[in-house]
Amino acid sequence: SQTIHQWPATLVQPVGSPLSLECTVEGTSNPNLYWYRQAAGRGLQLLFYSVGIGQISSEVPQNLSASRPQDRQFILSSKKLLLSDSGFYLCAWTSGRNEQFFGPGTRLTVL
Amino acid sequence: AQSVTQLGSHVSVSEGALVLLRCNYSSSVPPYLFWYVQYPNQGLQLLLKYTSAATLVKGINDFEAEFKKSETSFHLTKPSAHMSDAAEYFCAVSEDNYGQNFVFGPGTRLSVLP
């Protein structure tokens, strides 16, 4: 069966520090991968999606970037975090079926 | 482009009472519709989905939703609320059959009172 992992589960970082969040999917190949952000009390905002290795589409301009170095690995990064980057980051995947499967999320607090 | 609205950012019901969470959508093509549930500090879990088959869709934990094209609605119901149903619920719409291009509503937080 397919599973999706995210780490770390929680992260507290100072403003201006770098960021790297990782998402990996098991049990499937060639998935589409997504990064969402959920700010406190708000819905999901799609940040990036990827249909294959090295293929990244950005939905909103921001302080973040994404990379897909391997088929089942999706990384969210920042060179310098802002206070506004705080939130709950969710990775999701789909593989031709009409639903998205979500990871457990990473809670990021920028101080 | 598709969009989703959820009426009521916060809904409170008593334990054992009917749960009704509202979702209206906008789509230029026949939509695929979804309800997800999110418990605190967890990811989203699919409750049910509508994919142009039966208009009344049954999901997990006795939840169900009815697709009404004339009302562009996909409201979520449960006959009897349990304390464990307290969570955030998201409605989503997609215009393709491949799981891409999801648009999520802002969510409704459900509280269940003893």
CB contact under 8 A, B42 and A105: yes
Q: How many C-beta atoms surround the C-beta of residue A12 within 10 A? A: 10
DSSP lists the bridge partners of residue A77 as A20, A65
Please report the pLDDT score of residue A91 as a whole number.
Answer: 97
Residue bearing the bigger pLDDT, A64 or A42: A64
Do residues B110 and B19 make contact, with C-beta atoms less than 8 angstroms apart?
A: yes
pLDDT tens track for B69-105: 999 999 999 999 999 999 999 999 988 766 677 899 9
Please report the pLDDT score of residue A98 as a whole number.
Answer: 74
What does the longest C-alpha to C-alpha distance in chain A come to? 39
List the single best residue of B2, B23, B35, B42 to mutate versus A (max A Cβ within 10 A): B42
Do residues A31 and A25 make contact, with C-beta atoms less than 8 angstroms apart?
A: yes
In angstroms, the CA B104 to CA A46 distance is 9
Do residues B95 and B43 make contact, with C-beta atoms less than 8 angstroms apart?
A: no
A6 contacts in chain B (CB < 8 Å):
43
Classify each residue of A76-107 as buried b or exposed e, where b means 16 or more C-beta atoms within 10 Å of its C-beta: bebeebeeebbbbbbbbbbbeebbbbbbebbe
Classify each residue of B63-72 as buried b or exposed e, where b means 16 or more C-beta atoms within 10 Å of its C-beta: bbbebeeeee
A39 pLDDT band, cuts 50/70/90, is: confident
- The nearest alpha carbon in chain A to B104 belongs to A44
pLDDT tens track for B21-40: 999 999 888 889 999 999 98
